[in-house]
Amino acid sequence: MLLCSVASGAAAAAVLGDGVNLQPSYYAGGRPSFGWELMKRHKKIKTVRFEIEPGKAAQAKEWIAQAKSHGYAVIATYHKVSALGSDEPSELLAAADWWRRNYADLAASGPITVNLMNEWGSHDLTPAAYANAYNDAIAVVRSVYSGPIIIDVPGWGQETAVAAAAVKGQKGAAIQDRGIILSVHVYPSGWNQALKHALRPSDLDDLASAGRPCMLGEFGGEGSGKADWSAIVAHAKSRGWPVLGWAWNGDGGGMNMVAPPWTSDARATAFAPAPYFDSIYSRLGDAGD
């Protein structure tokens, strides 16, 4: 297995910068209008994260090429809606094999950072099971890709203590590859079952103690729950982590930064900021941006 350094992961996290998520797979056959002109007017957006369903690799090449032509760093994420929260190692290995088969073709459109799989692992996943599954999956991806690999912490991106223990090898197996970036997903409903409380800012410190670069791969303010999502995002920013808001477009509900949402007009020729826009955009960038 190719081992990447922690420094390379940290450098990648710094280069990525803050940004937004897009979920284009389900709209207009995977070819919606993105509203790049509007995005370019909002300079705090440096990175876009695309969620790619298994059958949408051809369309994803076009998304990546468009994003690169507009100057954005790109995170490409394997996303299988039927496997969200799965604890089945076979699902993670399927994601790794998808990367083995598709990485070179996707990267031909421009450099990308691989997010191995979106939200694999439930709240019940153990550190050892998380580590073992990711060790196997990362080994497959390393056959085609040597850069930093973003891995979502389990529990839909919320079990920070489980991920930290898996990196440290505190509960048996340890994640061996050092070129990873640990990604947390933050919403009001965020729950840290291992610590038996709603997700909180101090959980980010627990994750950082594992000694790997970290980021918020998703954050959003809609939904119910006791997690203070705004405080968690602010704490991530204070630690210098990249944060990516959910979502520029593609959310099936109310968390779309722009109007019209793709649910109502996926091929719109013009977009405008939606009421939800500022709740995300105001939390991106540095104080001077």
pLDDT tens profile 33-59 = 999 999 999 999 999 999 999 999 999
Mean pLDDT of 277-285: 98
pLDDT of residue 15: 73
pLDDT score of 1 more than 60? no
Mean pLDDT lowest among 73-87, 111-125, 136-150, 274-288: 274-288
- 101, burial (CB in 10 Å: exposed 0-12, middle 13-18, buried 19+): exposed
pLDDT-based confidence at residue 286 (cuts at 50, 70, 90): confident
Mean residue pLDDT across the chain? 95
Residue 213, Cβ neighbours under 10 Å: how many?
Answer: 25
Helix/strand/coil for 182 = strand
Topology (CATH level 3) of domain 6-281: TIM Barrel (3.20.20)
In the chain, the amino acid numbered 12 is: A
174 is written with which tokens?
């340890």
pLDDT score of 171 more than 80? no
Given the DSSP bridges, would you call strands 258-259 and 272-273 parallel, antiparallel or unpaired? Answer: antiparallel
Report the range out of 1-10, 88-97, 168-177 with the highest average pLDDT.
88-97
The pLDDT tens digits for 91-149 are: 999 999 999 999 999 999 999 999 999 999 999 999 999 999 999 999 999 999 999 99
Quote the pTM value.
0.96
pLDDT score of 4 more than 60? no
Mean pLDDT of 164-174: 92
pLDDT of residue 9: 60
